[in-house]
Amino acid sequence: MNADKRNAIFSRLRELNASPETELRYKNPFELLVAVILSAQATDISVNKATDKLYPVARTPESILALGVNGLKPYIRTIGLFNSKAENIIKTCRLLIEKHGSEVPRTRAELEALPGVGRKTANVILNTAFGEPTIAVDTHIFRVSNRTGIAKGKTPLEVEKRLVRLTPEEFRKDAHHWLILHGRYICKARKPMCGECPIIDWCEYSKKELS
Protein backbone atom coordinates (compact mmCIF):
# COMPACT_ATOMS: atom_id res chain seq x y z
CA MET A 1 0.00 0.00 0.00
CA ASN A 2 1.38 3.41 -0.92
CA ALA A 3 1.40 6.58 1.21
CA ASP A 4 -1.51 8.15 -0.66
CA LYS A 5 -3.80 5.25 0.19
CA ARG A 6 -2.79 5.34 3.86
CA ASN A 7 -3.48 9.06 3.94
CA ALA A 8 -6.88 8.48 2.36
CA ILE A 9 -7.78 5.74 4.85
CA PHE A 10 -6.85 7.72 7.94
CA SER A 11 -8.42 10.88 6.56
CA ARG A 12 -11.71 9.03 6.08
CA LEU A 13 -11.55 7.51 9.56
CA ARG A 14 -10.90 10.98 11.01
CA GLU A 15 -13.87 12.42 9.11
CA LEU A 16 -16.12 9.83 10.72
CA ASN A 17 -14.65 10.11 14.23
CA ALA A 18 -12.52 13.18 14.86
CA SER A 19 -11.82 12.39 18.52
CA PRO A 20 -11.76 8.60 19.00
CA GLU A 21 -11.65 7.26 22.55
CA THR A 22 -11.27 3.94 24.30
CA GLU A 23 -14.48 2.18 25.28
CA LEU A 24 -13.04 1.34 28.68
CA ARG A 25 -14.49 3.56 31.40
CA TYR A 26 -11.95 5.35 33.59
CA LYS A 27 -11.33 8.70 35.28
CA ASN A 28 -7.56 8.75 35.69
CA PRO A 29 -4.43 6.89 34.51
CA PHE A 30 -4.56 4.43 37.42
CA GLU A 31 -8.14 3.38 36.70
CA LEU A 32 -7.19 2.95 33.04
CA LEU A 33 -4.18 0.83 34.01
CA VAL A 34 -6.32 -1.53 36.08
CA ALA A 35 -8.93 -1.73 33.32
CA VAL A 36 -6.34 -2.53 30.65
CA ILE A 37 -4.76 -5.25 32.80
CA LEU A 38 -8.22 -6.75 33.18
CA SER A 39 -8.97 -6.46 29.46
CA ALA A 40 -6.47 -9.11 28.36
CA GLN A 41 -8.52 -11.84 26.67
CA ALA A 42 -11.71 -10.08 27.82
CA THR A 43 -14.14 -7.63 26.25
CA ASP A 44 -14.33 -3.98 27.19
CA ILE A 45 -17.98 -4.54 28.10
CA SER A 46 -17.11 -7.21 30.65
CA VAL A 47 -14.31 -5.07 32.10
CA ASN A 48 -16.60 -2.06 32.45
CA LYS A 49 -19.16 -4.18 34.30
CA ALA A 50 -16.47 -5.28 36.75
CA THR A 51 -14.92 -1.85 37.30
CA ASP A 52 -18.35 -0.26 37.70
CA LYS A 53 -18.62 -2.39 40.86
CA LEU A 54 -14.99 -2.13 41.93
CA TYR A 55 -14.25 1.59 41.58
CA PRO A 56 -17.00 2.87 43.91
CA VAL A 57 -15.36 0.71 46.59
CA ALA A 58 -11.66 1.01 45.69
CA ARG A 59 -10.12 3.17 42.98
CA THR A 60 -6.61 4.03 44.22
CA PRO A 61 -3.48 1.91 44.62
CA GLU A 62 -3.86 2.13 48.39
CA SER A 63 -7.53 1.15 48.52
CA ILE A 64 -7.18 -1.74 46.08
CA LEU A 65 -4.07 -2.98 47.88
CA ALA A 66 -6.06 -2.89 51.11
CA LEU A 67 -8.57 -5.30 49.54
CA GLY A 68 -5.87 -7.88 48.98
CA VAL A 69 -6.03 -10.62 46.38
CA ASN A 70 -8.96 -12.39 48.00
CA GLY A 71 -10.86 -9.15 48.50
CA LEU A 72 -10.35 -8.10 44.89
CA LYS A 73 -11.38 -11.37 43.28
CA PRO A 74 -15.15 -11.09 43.89
CA TYR A 75 -15.25 -7.86 41.86
CA ILE A 76 -13.47 -9.32 38.83
CA ARG A 77 -14.60 -12.95 39.02
CA THR A 78 -16.62 -12.65 35.80
CA ILE A 79 -13.47 -11.85 33.81
CA GLY A 80 -11.26 -14.55 32.35
CA LEU A 81 -8.01 -15.31 34.17
CA PHE A 82 -9.28 -13.34 37.17
CA ASN A 83 -7.05 -15.23 39.62
CA SER A 84 -3.77 -14.23 37.98
CA LYS A 85 -5.09 -10.75 37.17
CA ALA A 86 -6.01 -10.16 40.81
CA GLU A 87 -2.49 -11.12 41.88
CA ASN A 88 -0.91 -8.88 39.24
CA ILE A 89 -3.08 -5.89 40.14
CA ILE A 90 -2.26 -6.20 43.84
CA LYS A 91 1.48 -6.50 43.08
CA THR A 92 1.25 -3.52 40.72
CA CYS A 93 -0.51 -1.42 43.36
CA ARG A 94 2.26 -2.21 45.83
CA LEU A 95 4.96 -1.21 43.36
CA LEU A 96 3.15 2.00 42.42
CA ILE A 97 3.02 2.98 46.09
CA GLU A 98 6.58 1.97 46.92
CA LYS A 99 8.39 3.16 43.78
CA HIS A 100 6.22 5.75 42.04
CA GLY A 101 4.42 7.71 44.75
CA SER A 102 1.14 6.01 43.79
CA GLU A 103 1.34 7.54 40.30
CA VAL A 104 1.31 5.64 37.02
CA PRO A 105 4.77 6.00 35.43
CA ARG A 106 5.07 7.63 32.04
CA THR A 107 7.88 5.61 30.47
CA ARG A 108 7.61 2.29 28.66
CA ALA A 109 10.36 0.65 30.72
CA GLU A 110 8.73 1.56 34.03
CA LEU A 111 5.30 0.49 32.83
CA GLU A 112 6.53 -2.87 31.52
CA ALA A 113 8.20 -3.50 34.89
CA LEU A 114 4.75 -3.62 36.50
CA PRO A 115 3.19 -7.10 36.94
CA GLY A 116 0.60 -7.83 34.29
CA VAL A 117 1.82 -5.04 32.01
CA GLY A 118 3.34 -6.03 28.67
CA ARG A 119 4.19 -3.99 25.62
CA LYS A 120 0.59 -3.74 24.40
CA THR A 121 -0.71 -2.55 27.78
CA ALA A 122 2.13 -0.05 28.09
CA ASN A 123 1.32 1.33 24.65
CA VAL A 124 -2.34 1.76 25.59
CA ILE A 125 -1.41 3.70 28.73
CA LEU A 126 1.15 5.85 26.94
CA ASN A 127 -1.31 6.67 24.18
CA THR A 128 -4.65 6.93 25.96
CA ALA A 129 -3.61 8.33 29.34
CA PHE A 130 -0.64 10.44 28.29
CA GLY A 131 -1.23 11.29 24.63
CA GLU A 132 1.88 9.62 23.25
CA PRO A 133 1.75 8.63 19.54
CA THR A 134 2.08 4.91 20.29
CA ILE A 135 0.02 2.16 18.68
CA ALA A 136 -0.97 -0.88 20.73
CA VAL A 137 -1.50 -3.86 18.43
CA ASP A 138 -4.24 -6.18 19.66
CA THR A 139 -6.04 -8.86 17.65
CA HIS A 140 -8.30 -6.28 15.97
CA ILE A 141 -5.47 -3.99 14.86
CA PHE A 142 -3.32 -6.93 13.79
CA ARG A 143 -6.17 -8.20 11.60
CA VAL A 144 -7.11 -4.82 10.12
CA SER A 145 -3.51 -3.87 9.39
CA ASN A 146 -2.82 -7.11 7.54
CA ARG A 147 -6.19 -7.44 5.85
CA THR A 148 -6.35 -3.91 4.48
CA GLY A 149 -2.64 -3.75 3.69
CA ILE A 150 -2.01 -0.67 5.87
CA ALA A 151 0.88 -2.40 7.63
CA LYS A 152 1.48 -6.09 7.09
CA GLY A 153 3.45 -8.22 9.50
CA LYS A 154 3.68 -11.73 10.92
CA THR A 155 3.78 -10.66 14.56
CA PRO A 156 2.12 -7.88 16.60
CA LEU A 157 5.51 -6.25 17.16
CA GLU A 158 6.28 -6.27 13.46
CA VAL A 159 2.91 -4.71 12.69
CA GLU A 160 3.38 -2.12 15.44
CA LYS A 161 6.77 -1.03 14.14
CA ARG A 162 5.44 -0.74 10.58
CA LEU A 163 2.37 1.19 11.72
CA VAL A 164 4.45 3.67 13.70
CA ARG A 165 6.80 4.12 10.76
CA LEU A 166 4.19 4.29 7.99
CA THR A 167 1.30 6.13 9.64
CA PRO A 168 1.49 9.84 8.82
CA GLU A 169 2.41 11.87 11.89
CA GLU A 170 -0.85 13.82 11.94
CA PHE A 171 -2.80 10.57 12.40
CA ARG A 172 -0.43 8.64 14.66
CA LYS A 173 -1.91 9.66 18.02
CA ASP A 174 -5.42 8.50 17.11
CA ALA A 175 -4.55 5.58 14.81
CA HIS A 176 -4.79 3.04 17.64
CA HIS A 177 -8.39 3.89 18.42
CA TRP A 178 -9.50 4.23 14.80
CA LEU A 179 -8.12 0.83 13.87
CA ILE A 180 -9.39 -1.02 16.93
CA LEU A 181 -12.90 0.39 16.52
CA HIS A 182 -12.86 -0.43 12.82
CA GLY A 183 -11.84 -4.00 13.58
CA ARG A 184 -14.38 -4.35 16.37
CA TYR A 185 -17.42 -3.11 14.45
CA ILE A 186 -16.71 -3.31 10.70
CA CYS A 187 -13.68 -5.40 9.77
CA LYS A 188 -14.71 -8.36 11.92
CA ALA A 189 -12.71 -11.56 12.01
CA ARG A 190 -15.17 -14.05 10.54
CA LYS A 191 -17.56 -11.87 8.56
CA PRO A 192 -16.08 -8.49 7.64
CA MET A 193 -18.85 -6.02 6.82
CA CYS A 194 -17.35 -4.88 3.54
CA GLY A 195 -20.67 -3.49 2.35
CA GLU A 196 -20.60 -0.98 5.20
CA CYS A 197 -16.87 -0.28 5.18
CA PRO A 198 -15.97 3.42 4.78
CA ILE A 199 -12.43 2.61 3.59
CA ILE A 200 -13.27 -0.16 1.12
CA ASP A 201 -12.03 1.93 -1.82
CA TRP A 202 -8.45 1.52 -0.60
CA CYS A 203 -8.63 -1.92 1.03
CA GLU A 204 -6.52 -4.68 -0.50
CA TYR A 205 -8.73 -7.41 1.02
CA SER A 206 -11.85 -6.17 -0.75
CA LYS A 207 -10.07 -6.11 -4.09
CA LYS A 208 -9.03 -9.75 -3.64
CA GLU A 209 -12.57 -10.74 -2.73
CA LEU A 210 -14.03 -9.00 -5.75
CA SER A 211 -11.45 -10.31 -8.23
Q: Specify whether the backbone of 81 is left (phi greater than 0), alpha (psi in -120 to 50) or beta.
A: left
Active site (annotated) includes residue 138: yes
Catalytic residue among 120, 152, 154, 188: 120
3-state per-residue secondary structure call for 24-49: CCCCCHHHHHHHHHHCCCCCHHHHHH
| Alpha-carbon separation of residue 209 from 24, 140, 185, 195 (angstroms) | 34, 20, 19, 12
Residues counted in the chain? 211
Sequence-distant (6+) residues with CB within 8 A of 76 are 38, 50, 54, 82, 85, 86
CB 179 within 8 A of CB 145: yes
* Catalytic residue flag (residue 120): yes
Nearest Cα to Cα of residue 167 among 181, 184, 191, 148: 148
Q: Which of 53, 91, 138, 154 is catalytic?
A: 138
Residue type, 185: Y
Q: Which of 171, 173, 134 is nearest to 156 (CA)?
A: 134
Known catalytic residues are 120, 138
